[in-house]
């Protein structure tokens, strides 16, 4: 273990090599990247590194500036309780959901259910083989929802890869019955345009659940994913008859086509749909991270969302990836997935503003509300050029009067940070592993890191399932907030219970 002070000493060196400067230029001029590593059903591609990059990383390890290969370091206020390595499912771990004493972890090969009644010793309850990237996951009652965003031969869990250029190919939402956690049962599927990269549950009383499906990157050669694709698919699921789930609307969120991207806005991905949406049902609000745009919209009528405001950052944001409200619903944190989740972007050369979180205040009332930029936040623990590092999925840590967040950064690890002052965010805790290897650029590290009932849970892309305990007077009150479920993109009102 190392202290925050000791770790800050090592932050001054990495990322100044010429190779890093080359990467920065490439990120600015390359064609738009996919929002996450999208290897289909195969392992993620591993990029080569130069001998000088390897030498620099080895020197940084010897000098204590970065952790050694697979070495764990963390601030003194975080304890690593356990890691559960991958079992039968060897694909990339993805998102997390929670329900009672269970945690659900998506994986490119399917999903895993863990019993976390003892957070120090999670137990694997079941592993379900159902390939189809990226298997974004959420749960409600006895239903589990799984996103498929790779072209498949059919909608079954035994499907194989098939080109999206073939009309018979399938992508979309899958629905499982999880009343028996040991034997989840696949019960329904809904095909959606351009697949389902991510999805968000929008509850509507006890009878129905709406699913906002985010997908993007249409192509004229794809029969089921042709441009324009300027909106989201909305699925209505009758809770008691999920087999009758169907698409009820495809609202166009960008009637003007959205951000045109490069060459008009160099380094920015053209908007052709949304990557992720977070809803705050208690306030009838949603925030969308939509490639080249960030949006705020009303979900008072869940079948007909209404745009309130829209913002762009064509200087420092490359790909609007995800969104998180604060508890007071007067701020939104948007993340930028610079490099598409496949590049080393946490270094000195790229700097603190690109590949960062953008903190926006929500000012005004009703339909006159506006998103107003306040500041950026990015971890300043520089990573080696062999480490893919990017702002990724996180959640609020519920403490009254404070705006605290835990967030995954791939091989940048896990960061706990305070944005109570929107203009002056600061990190207050961290956990990370050293490089997976020094010979290749690898996609690894935490995909998601969420706070749930007193602990931080993380799905590590390569290493499995991690549980952490955060002990800090600034965050300790959050342990008093007990939830019976958590789908982070369906953000709860933590204190209305």
Paired tokens of 423: 């203009």
Q: What distance in Å separates the CA atoms of residue 278 and residue 486, rounded to the nearest whole number?
A: 13
Looking at residue 22, its pLDDT comes to 38
Q: How many CB atoms lie within 10 A of CB 12?
A: 12
Q: Sheet holding 185-191: strands in order across?
A: 134-140, 143-152, 170-177, 185-191
Instruction: For residue 241, count other CB atoms closer than 10 A to its CB.
Output: 10
Tokens of 271: 């908007």
pLDDT reported for residue 46: 57
pTM given for the model:
0.92
Q: What is the rounded CA–CA span in Å between residue 282 and residue 496?
A: 9
pLDDT at 236: 98
CB 64 within 8 A of CB 10: yes
Q: Which residues make Cβ contacts (< 8 Å) with residue 407, sequence separation at least 6?
A: 335, 357, 391, 392, 393, 394, 414, 415, 416, 417, 449
Instruction: Give the residues across from 106 on adjacent strands.
Output: 111
Sites in the chain below the pLDDT cut of 70: 1-46, 497
77 Ramachandran zone, left/alpha/beta (phi>0; psi -120 to 50): alpha
Whole-angstrom Cα distance, residue 305 to residue 454? 34
- 417-474 pLDDT, tens digit per residue, is 999 999 999 999 999 999 999 988 889 999 999 999 999 999 999 999 999 999 999 9
**CA pair distance 384, 131, nearest whole angstrom:** 32
Q: How far apart are CA 220 and CA 211, in angstroms?
A: 26
Q: How many residues can be counted in the chain?
A: 497
Contacts of residue 283, Cβ cutoff 8 Å, sequence gap at least 6 = 325, 329
Please check whether residue 9 is in contact with residue 60, taking contact to mean a CB–CB distance below 8 angstroms.
no
Residue 40: predicted pLDDT: 38
3-class SS string, the chain: CCCHHHHHHHHHCCCCCHHHHHHHHHHHHCCCCCCCCCCCCCCCCCEECCHHHHHHHHHHHHCCCCCCCCCEEECCCEEEEEEECCCCCCCCEEEEEEECCEEEEEECCEEEEEECCCCCCCEEEEEEECCCCEEEEEEECCEEEEEEEEEECCCCCCCCECCCCCCCCEEEEEEEECCCCCCCEEEEEEECCCCCCEEEEEEECCCEEEEEEECCCCCCCCCCCCCCCCECEEEEEECCCHHHCEEEECCECCCCCCCCCCCCCCCCCCCCCCCEEEEEHHHCEEEEEEECEEEEEECCCCCCCEEEEEECCCCCCCCEEEEEECCCCCEEEEEECHHHHCCECCCCCCCCCCCCEEEEEEECCHHHCEEEEEEEECCCCCCCCCECECCCEEEEECCCCCCEEEEEEEECCEEEEECCCCCCCEEEEEEEECCCCCCEEECCCEEEEEEECCEEEEEECCCEEEEEEECCCCCHHHHHCCCCEECCCECCCCCCC
Sheet holding 72-74, edge to edge: 72-74, 426-433, 414-418, 404-408, 394-397
Q: Using CA atoms, how far apart are residues 238 and 96, in angstroms rounded to an integer?
A: 23
């Amino acid at each position: 273990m190392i202290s925050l002070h000791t770790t800050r000493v090592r932050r001054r060196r990495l990322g100044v090599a010429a190779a890093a400067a080359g990467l920065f230029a490439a990120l600015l001029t390359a064609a738009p990247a996919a929002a996450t590593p999208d290897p289909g059903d195969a392992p993620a591609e591993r990029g080569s590194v130069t001998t000088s990059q390897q030498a620099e990383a080895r020197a940084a390890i010897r000098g204590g500036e970065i952790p050694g290969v697979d070495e764990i370091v963390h601030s003194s206020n975080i304890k690593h309780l356990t890691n559960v390595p991958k079992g039968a499912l060897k694909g990339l771990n993805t998102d997390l959901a929670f329900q009672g004493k269970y945690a659900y972890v998506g994986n490119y090969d399917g999903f895993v259910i863990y019993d976390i009644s003892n957070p120090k010793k999670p137990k694997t309850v079941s592993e379900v083989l159902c390939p189809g990237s990226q298997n974004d996951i959420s749960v409600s009652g006895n239903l589990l929802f799984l996103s498929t965003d790779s072209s498949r031969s059919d909608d079954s869990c035994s499907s194989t890869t098939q080109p999206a250029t073939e009309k018979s190919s399938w992508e979309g939402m899958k629905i499982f019955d999880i009343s028996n956690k040991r034997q989840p049962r696949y019960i329904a599927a809904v095909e959606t345009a351009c697949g389902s990269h991510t999805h968000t549950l929008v509850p509507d009383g006890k009878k129905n659940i709406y699913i906002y499906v985010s997908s993007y990157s249409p192509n004229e050669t794809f029969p089921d994913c042709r441009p324009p694709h300027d909106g989201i698919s909305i699925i209505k699921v009758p809770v008691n008859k999920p087999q009758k789930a169907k698409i009820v609307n495809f609202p166009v969120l960008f009637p003007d086509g959205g951000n045109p991207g490069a060459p008009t806005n160099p380094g920015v991905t053209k908007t052709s749909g949304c990557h992720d949406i977070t809803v705050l049902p208690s306030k009838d609000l949603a925030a969308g991270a939509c490639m080249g745009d960030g949006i705020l919209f009303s979900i008072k009528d869940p079948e007909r969302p209404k745009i309130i405001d829209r913002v762009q950052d064509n200087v420092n944001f490359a790909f609007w990836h995800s969104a998180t409200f604060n508890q007071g619903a007067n701020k939104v944190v948007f993340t930028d997935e610079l490099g598409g989740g496949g590049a080393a972007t946490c270094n000195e050369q790229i700097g603190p503003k690109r590949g960062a979180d953008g903190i926006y205040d929500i000012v005004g009332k009703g339909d006159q509300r506006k998103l107003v930029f306040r500041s950026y936040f990015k971890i300043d623990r520089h990573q080696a050029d062999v480490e893919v590092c990017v702002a990724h999925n996180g959640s609020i840590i519920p403490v009254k009067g404070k705006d605290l967040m835990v967030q995954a950064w791939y091989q940048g690890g896990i960061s706990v940070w305070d944005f109570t002052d929107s203009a002056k965010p600061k990190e207050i805790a961290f956990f990370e592993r050293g490089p997976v290897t020094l010979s290749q650029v690898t996609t690894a590290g935490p995909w998601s890191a969420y706070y749930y009932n007193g602990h931080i849970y993380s799905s590590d892309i390569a290493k499995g399932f991690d549980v952490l305990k955060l002990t800090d007077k600034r965050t300790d009150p959050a342990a008093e907030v007990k939830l019976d479920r958590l789908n982070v993109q369906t953000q709860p009102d933590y204190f209305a219970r």
